[in-house]
Structure 1
C-alpha cells in the first residue's frame, strides 16, 4: 500500500499481482471504508506509510469468505470514496486506487480570509496546475523523460515564488505524482476561490524538429458551451448568486440573473486570460523560442472554469531532444518558473482583484507620467520614496524609464 495525503483528499494505492475484483461499502460511527478483494490473500503487510489527517489507519478485518480479503480504512471523519483499477504500466503492475475526498478539507493551502477574521485584505490566490500525473505520464521524450515530472517540478518552483510574495498565495491542484482528471482541476481552483489558474504542460510531436513554447486560452466556442452547461445546472446558480438564489421565486428570473452574471464573469475571465497570455509570451521569449508568438485558443477541459481566468502554458517540446535536455536542467526550469511568475505579478500589479491587499495598496498609490529629463532618482527625491520602491511597484529590472511611461509611485 502507498499513500498520498493532500489538504483536500487522500489517495491509497494497493499493488496487486493480478487485476482486482472488488466491492466496497462505507460505515458510520465511526466512519470507515470497507473493501472486499476476491481471490486475495491477507498475508502481506500493508506497510506503515504516513496516512495524513483524513485516514486514521488501514487494517485487515475478518473476510466475508475464505477466498477473499477484507481491508478496513478507518477515517477521522466522513469522506466520499472513489475506487478504480489500473492496468500495468510504467513498470508497475496491477493496482487498485482509492480516492477519498475529505468532507472537511484543511485550509492550509487556502488563505482566502473573511474580512471579519483578518486585519488585512486577502491574498491573491494563484492555482497552479501541473499537467498529467500518476497513471497519466503525459508525453515522453526521446531520452525517456516524463512530462508529468517536468510539469510538477516547474509548478513547485512557481509555487515557492508565489508564496514568497507578500499578498499572494499558491494552491496546487496536485502536489505529488497522482492522477487528477482534467475536469476536476478547475474545481480545485474554484474550491479555493482562486483568482487565476495556470496549467503547465510540455508539448510533443511525432517528429523531433518542432520546438518552442506557446500559451493557450479557452476558445469562444467552448466558452459558450460551458456557459450553457452551467446555466442548465440549477444548483450552480447558488454559486453565482449566493443567498439571492434562495429568495428568487421565479425560475426564469433566477436563470436570467445567473446568465447575466455568468456572462459578465466569463467576459472578464477571457479578457484577463488573453492579457496575461501576452505577458507570459513576452517573458518566455526572453528564455526560449516561441512556437506560437500570440495566444492560441483551444477547447481544453482544464480551462473551462467560467469564473476564473485560466491559461495553459506549453513550456517547450519534450519530443525535441535539445528541449528535453533543457527541461531536465533545474536552472532552466527555474527560469521558466520565474518567467511565469514575473508575468503574473506584472498583471496583478496593474489589475489587482477587488478586496485584495494589492488592490488596497494600489488605491493608496499615485501615478506619474514620465517627462523629458526625468529619471528614477529624480522621481524618488520628488516623492520622498526609495528608488527600489518605485522599481518594485512597477516591476522594473533596470534604472531606465522612457518618456510617456506611466509609473506607480508607492505611498511608502
Structure 2
C-alpha cells in the first residue's frame, strides 16, 4: 500500500484522491504499458543524469520547458513512482536505466514506459526505504529546466559515527588519481583504514581533525578548462592526495566533505565540518578567469567587512553561486544557515584563518607563482563556520592553458597537496592550542 501521494505545484492536484484511486494508481498501473495509440508528446528531455553518493542519490531530468510531474512512494517492495506529463518516451529517457550503477546505494534499477496518453511513468526500484525530495529548478548557467529527485535514506548516515568506525565518514581510496582532459574522474574503490590512521589512537591522545572540501561536484562542474578539464574532478583528486598525506601523520586525520562526484550544498559543507568537530577547514578550488593569461595560486579567508579587492568579491560571488548551479532545494534549506552559521561574530576565528592562510600561501609560493602575495578576504559562504579557522585555496587557474596542463599532472597535484600540508603543519606548530578535539588513548 502506498505511503503517500504528492504533486508538484505545477501538476494537477492529486493529494486528495480517494483510497480506491490511490490503490489503483499504485497497484495495477505499476505495470508499464506501451500505448498502442501514438500520442504526440509536448517535448523531449534534453538530458538525464544520476549522481550516487553515500548520503543520497540525485536523479536529474533536464528539459527545455518546466516539467509537470506527480510522484508516489510504494512499499513492499520499496519503489518511487514518478509520472511525467507531456514528455516523450524517447532515447534520452530510455537511457536512464543504463545510468544507474550497480553499486548505487539506493537505486536497484529503473523502468520507464508509456503509462497513458501524454504521461510517461518512471519507476525506481529501491534497495532501501527512502525519504525523497522532489523539486524543480529554473534555468541557470548551461542548464535548462530541471526536475530533481533526491533519494535520501529513511535513516540518514551519521558522519560522526562513521568517523569513529573508520578514519573518514566515507573513506576514499588509494590508487591512480589522475584526471583526464575529458573531465572524467577515476573510479576509486573503498579501502580499509590505512595503517597510519590505525596508529592514531595509540600514539596520540590529541588529534587535529582537518576538514577537506573539494569544490563543486555533481551537477556543478565548477570551471572548465580549454582542454575540457573539470574543476570538480581536479579538486577531488588533490583533496584525496592531501587526505592520504594527512592521515599518514601520527597526530592528524582528514575528513572529506565529499569523496565522489556528487553535489553538496555550501551550508552542508560547513555543517559536516562542524559535525565531526573539525579543527581546520580547507576548501580546494581551481577557478577560471575571463582572461586566459591570469595565473597563480591564491588563498582566501572570510571577511565581515567586504572584499579586499574587486577580484576577491567577484570570485566569492562566483563560488557562492555554486548552489544555484548544483541545485539546492530551497524549501528544505530555510533555517539551516541560521543554525549553522550562528551569529557570525567571529573575529577571533577570522584572525586564526588569516594565520592559517598565510602559512599555506607561503608554501604554495614554493611550487607555483602567487596570483596575489597576500591572503585576500571576501564573503565566501563556505568559509562561514563560526568556530573553525577556514581557508579557500585556489590552486591555479584552470582557464590558463599552461596551468590547466599542470593541474592534470599527477606529480604536480602531489606537490600541491604536499605544499598545503606543510602550510597546515606550520600553522599547527605555531598555534598548538588550536585543537579542541580530544581522543581517548587506546589500551
- Could you say which TM-score interval applies, normalised by the shorter chain? 0.5 to 0.7
Corresponding residue number in structure 1 for 2:33: none
Of residues 113, 131, 136, the one that matches 2:220 is: 136
Once the 2 structures are TM-superposed, how far is the Cα of residue 294 of structure 1 from its aligned partner? 1.6
Corresponding residue number in structure 1 for 2:131: 79
Corresponding residue number in structure 2 for 1:126: 210
Query: Could you tell me whether the CA contact under 8 Å between 1:111 and 1:122 is conserved in 2?
Result: no
The number of equivalent residue pairs is 323
Corresponding residue number in structure 2 for 1:272: 352
Equivalence map 1:8-407=2 (5 Å): 8-13=55-60, 20-26=67-73, 32-38=79-85, 39-41=87-89, 46-47=97-98, 49-53=101-105, 55=106, 57-60=108-111, 65-66=116-117, 67-74=119-126, 76-84=128-136, 96-102=147-153, 103-105=155-157, 107=159, 110-111=162-163, 121=205, 123-221=207-305, 263=345, 266-349=346-429, 350-357=432-439
Once the 2 structures are TM-superposed, how far is the Cα of residue 286 of structure 1 from its aligned partner? 0.8
Q: TM (normalized to structure 2)? A: 0.61
- Inter-CA distance 88–316: structure 2 relative to 1 (3 Å threshold): closer
SS in 2 for 1:206: coil
Q: Note the alpha carbon deviations across 1:318-351, whole angstroms, 9 max, x for none.
A: 2222222221211111111111112223333433
CA RMSD of aligned residues (A): 4.0
Once the 2 structures are TM-superposed, how far is the Cα of residue 124 of structure 1 from its aligned partner? 2.9
Moved more, 119-128 or 134-143: 119-128
Moved more, 30-39 or 283-292: 30-39
Once the 2 structures are TM-superposed, how far is the Cα of residue 157 of structure 1 from its aligned partner? 1.2
Q: Provide the C-alpha distance between the structure 2 equivalents of 1:123 and 1:211, rounded to a whole number of angstroms.
A: 36
Corresponding residue number in structure 2 for 1:397: none
Once the 2 structures are TM-superposed, how far is the Cα of residue 175 of structure 1 from its aligned partner? 2.1
Query: Could you tell me whether the CA contact under 8 Å between 1:269 and 1:308 is conserved in 2?
Result: yes
Q: Provide the C-alpha distance between the structure 2 equivalents of 1:196 and 1:111, rounded to a whole number of angstroms.
A: 16
In structure 2, the gaps of 5 or more residues are 1-47, 166-200, 308-333
Query: Could you tell me whether the CA contact under 8 Å between 2:130 and 2:151 is conserved in 1?
Result: no
Q: Note the alpha carbon deviations across 1:238-297, whole angstroms, 9 max, x for none.
A: x89xxxxxxxxxxxxxxxxx86xx74xx33422221111011011111111111112111
Please identify the structure whose Cα radius of gyration is greater: 1
SS in 1 for 2:263: coil
SS in 1 for 2:412: helix
Q: Provide the C-alpha distance between the structure 1 equivalents of 2:304 and 2:410, rounded to a whole number of angstroms.
A: 36
Once the 2 structures are TM-superposed, how far is the Cα of residue 51 of structure 1 from its aligned partner? 4.4
Q: Provide the C-alpha distance between the structure 2 equivalents of 1:197 and 1:106, rounded to a whole number of angstroms.
A: 19
- Inter-CA distance 210–88: structure 2 relative to 1 (3 Å threshold): closer
Query: Could you tell me whether the CA contact under 8 Å between 1:20 and 1:85 is conserved in 2?
Result: no
Once the 2 structures are TM-superposed, how far is the Cα of residue 83 of structure 1 from its aligned partner? 4.0
Once the 2 structures are TM-superposed, how far is the Cα of residue 96 of structure 1 from its aligned partner? 4.7
Query: Could you tell me whether the CA contact under 8 Å between 2:160 and 2:275 is conserved in 1?
Result: no
Once the 2 structures are TM-superposed, how far is the Cα of residue 198 of structure 1 from its aligned partner? 0.9
- Inter-CA distance 189–207: structure 2 relative to 1 (3 Å threshold): same
Query: Could you tell me whether the CA contact under 8 Å between 1:283 and 1:342 is conserved in 2?
Result: yes
- Inter-CA distance 85–71: structure 2 relative to 1 (3 Å threshold): farther
Q: Provide the C-alpha distance between the structure 2 equivalents of 1:338 and 1:291, rounded to a whole number of angstroms.
A: 19
Once the 2 structures are TM-superposed, how far is the Cα of residue 306 of structure 1 from its aligned partner? 1.5
